[in-house]
Structure 1
Amino acid sequence: MEVFMVERSLKGIPMDQLAAAQQRAIATAQEMTAAGTPIRYIRSTFVPESGQCLCLFESEGCEAVKALNEKAEIPFNHVSVALDLTP
């Protein structure tokens, strides 16, 4: 499986809506995995001032990551392969 970065522009989003979106991403990943498409939400980084949000997912392909975000109704600008360098 590879790591994918999802880029989002969420300027002005209230924190409760951001938290709800994160919970939808986690729940949708669990649903998709149970249905046979392995995918895992790793974490998000949000910059309140600019609204930039970067989310990491582990999956077998980019299309599954896009499908998760569409199903969870979380807007995104771009999905790309990334290297998670967390020690």
Structure 2
Amino acid sequence: MEVFMVERSLKGIPMDQLAAAQQRAIATAQEMTAEGKPIRYIRSTFVPESGRCMCLFESQDQETVKALNEKAQIPFTNVSVALDLTP
């Protein structure tokens, strides 16, 4: 499994909608894993001033991460392999 970073531009999004999107990502990851496509939501970082949001997922491939975000209807601009350096 690799870590992938999903980049988003969410300028102006209300906090309740941001929280709902996060919950959809978590629920969709659980659904997809139960369907045999393992993926895990790790965390998100949001910068309110710019609207930039970065979300980390653990998955076997980039296509699964893209599919999750499309299924959860969460807009994204890029998905790339990332190194999670959390100690």
TM-score normalised by L of structure 1: 1.00
Structure 2: segments with no counterpart, 5+ residues: none
CA positional deviation for 1:62: 0.1
Q: Which ranges of 4 or more aligned residues in structure 1 deviate by more than 6 Å?
A: none
What's 1:28 paired with? 28
CA positional deviation for 1:75: 0.0
The equivalences for 1:1-87 within 5 A come to 1-87=1-87
CA positional deviation for 1:53: 0.1
SS in 1 for 2:75: coil
Q: What residue identity is the alignment partner of 2:82?
A: A
CA positional deviation for 1:33: 0.1
CA positional deviation for 1:74: 0.0
Matched pairs, number? 87
**Percent identity of the aligned residues?**
87
SS in 2 for 1:85: coil
RMSD over aligned CA atoms reads 0.1
CA positional deviation for 1:72: 0.1
TM-score normalised by L of structure 2: 1.00
Deviations 1:34-60 (A, max 9, x none): 000000000000000000000000000
Q: What residue identity is the alignment partner of 1:25?
A: A
